[in-house]
């Protein structure tokens, strides 16, 4: 884990990926290794946007394996939630303004599915830490996008009371 982190900090991405894959093969259920894997895949996703969905699936797999062992793991819930939420936001904001409507609406369905998957993860982190602002902010965006008006009102009130 330390070696992989070191290689990532040095931006030696290929070596980090190989080291990580070797470590994962050896310790497939080690929580610490899996959490590091999630972060490494995120860093690699940022450097290679063409393979964003592939890296998102790797992150999803790593965090799901942690959650299968420790369902209340705050970092695994939060980091996976952020991965899904940000992917949906990025899919929308990266669209060109001349995108055809058919393609846009298909893409928006994908985004809604990502928001739906992220929602229980942030609801979990919010239940674990009720005043965690980033969880509340993420829930605000999710409830808005999933037309959950009453939940949106409640989460906005919570955010307002924390200001």
List interacting residues with another protein (CB under 8 A). Answer: 1-6, 9, 32, 35-36, 38-39, 42, 74-75, 78-79, 82, 85-86, 88-90, 92-93, 95, 97-102, 104-105, 108-109, 111-112, 115, 125, 134, 137-138, 140-141, 144-147
Of 44 and 111, nearer to another protein (C-beta) is: 111
Structure tokens at 104: 């846009």
User: In Å, how far are 8, 16, 47, 95, 161 from 90, measured between CA atoms?
Assistant: 23, 25, 15, 9, 29
Of 75 and 154, nearer to another protein (C-beta) is: 75
Structure tokens at 57: 């699936």
What is the 3-state secondary structure of 48-75? CHHHHHHHHHHHHHHHHHHHHHCCCCHH
Tell the smallest beta-carbon distance from residue 88 to another protein (Å).
Answer: 8
Tell the smallest beta-carbon distance from residue 51 to another protein (Å).
Answer: 19
């Amino acid at each position: 884990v330390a070696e992989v982190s070191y290689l990532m900090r040095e931006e030696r991405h290929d070596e980090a990926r190989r080291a990580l894959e070797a470590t994962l093969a050896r310790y497939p259920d080690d929580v610490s290794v899996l959490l590091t894997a999630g972060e490494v895949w995120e860093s690699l996703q940022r450097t290679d946007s063409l393979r964003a969905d592939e890296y998102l699936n790797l992150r999803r797999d790593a965090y799901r394996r942690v959650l299968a062992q420790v369902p209340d793991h705050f970092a695994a819930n939060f980091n996976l939630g952020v991965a899904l939420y940000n992917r949906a936001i990025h899919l929308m904001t990266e669209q060109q303004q001349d995108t055809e409507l058919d393609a846009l609406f298909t893409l928006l369905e994908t985004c809604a599915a990502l928001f739906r998957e992220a929602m229980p993860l942030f609801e979990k982190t919010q239940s674990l830490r009720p005043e965690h602002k980033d969880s509340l902010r993420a829930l605000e965006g999710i409830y808005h996008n999933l037309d959950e008006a009453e939940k949106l009102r409640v989460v906005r009130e919570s955010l307002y009371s924390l200001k």
